[in-house]
A = this chain, B = another copy of it.
Amino acid sequence: MKRNIARLSQHAATLGVSLRPHLKTSKCIEAARYVLAGGNGPATVSTLAEAEMFAAAGITDILYAVGISPDKLDRVIALHRAGCRLTVLLDCAAQANAVAAASRASGVALPAMIEIDSDGHRSGLTPDDRALIEVGRILQDGGAELAGVLCHAGESYNVVGREAHARFAEIERQAVVDAATALRKAGLPCPALSVGSTPTAHGARDLTGVTEMRAGVYVFFDLVMAGIEACTLDDIALSVLTTVIGHQTARGWTICDAGWMAMSRDRGTAGQPVDQGYGLVCDDAGRVIPGLYVKQANQEHGVIARHPDFQGDVPEFPVGARLRILPNHACATAAQHQRYHVLPETPGAELVEWPRFGGW
């Protein structure tokens, strides 16, 4: 985890942009202390519950990177009054009007970023959409603060290799630069240009014009990220410890007690060149055991079997043996647990528990 954090931090520094880590992967104050390297921001969150928890822990610069709805603005204002600069995200006039009205009513000029769509993945306005200027003007003239533009190249998760991620990083960069240019031409400010996803943050080679990048899952990484070559298996810093509870010898199955409740139902590698089932199997020291994967999962049962791509023999493990499973998707697997059991940096030292939180 520390190596993953240091690597992206150095890459951001080399590119001359600030890094605004997404804390939705860990949802953990102790992990955030490492990710934010002792500072109190900048940070990104995916829910108001995260914003409230991290603000209570002293983090003062948070971007809530999911489109705002009017019913949530009371909690946004309360966070500002408690000393946290929480920036909201939006992409339409209805949201901008609500944010401007809340700003006027509260006397807090709420900072808002406009979401830009670069790849058709999900939300956002294209840089040439005339609504961009309209939304910017509603915010700026209505008493809110137009804080900038934001883009997330969600489609970058579907392409393999550093070269492909670099292309998406350039698409993200171009989108926010074009949007900022349009806003500025219309006489509107655009101080922040924010881009990012774990693949594009690592793949980016030139971020001219951009002020910050965001990434989240890089802290732990996972099999989906390994499958698109955004990391190696050795970078994966999260696993689920499980115990063997049975066998179906005729079918070559080993049954363990890590089912989907422990792994999540995320099957993110199902659409990748190598489908890793519900996860790859490691020994209790975290070394990948070649040829094994979690073929299927029920609520509290995982079925370990030989991967169809593997030809050789695979070892057998008796009832009671301990194994570790590397997850498809760290955000989803971590969300199934209430705490992390942190392996000590000094071998032989005690495990440390880091609590996680959830909710909205």
Contact = CB atoms under 8 A, between A and B. Distances in A.
Interface in A308-339: 318-320, 329, 331-332, 335-338
Given A68-B245, A246-B95, A265-B332, A301 B123 contact: yes
Contacts of A245: 66-69, 95
- Chain copies in the assembly? 2
Given A91-B246, A95-B319, A123-B248, A300 B257 contact: no
B299 A46 contact: yes
Interface string A247-263: 11001000101001110
A268 to B, nearest CB: 8
Interface residues of A, number: 55
Nearest to A245: B67
A320 B70 contact: yes
A243 interface: yes
Given A123-B255, A260-B266, 5 more contacts: A67-B257, A67-B301, A69-B245, A69-B320, A264-B265
27 contacts: A46-B299, A66-B301, A67-B245, A68-B245, A69-B245, A69-B320, A71-B243, A71-B320, A72-B243, A92-B247, A92-B319, A94-B320, A95-B245, A98-B319, A117-B248, A122-B248, A122-B298, A122-B301, A123-B255, A265-B266, A265-B267, A265-B329, A265-B332, A267-B267, A299-B331, A338-B358, A338-B359
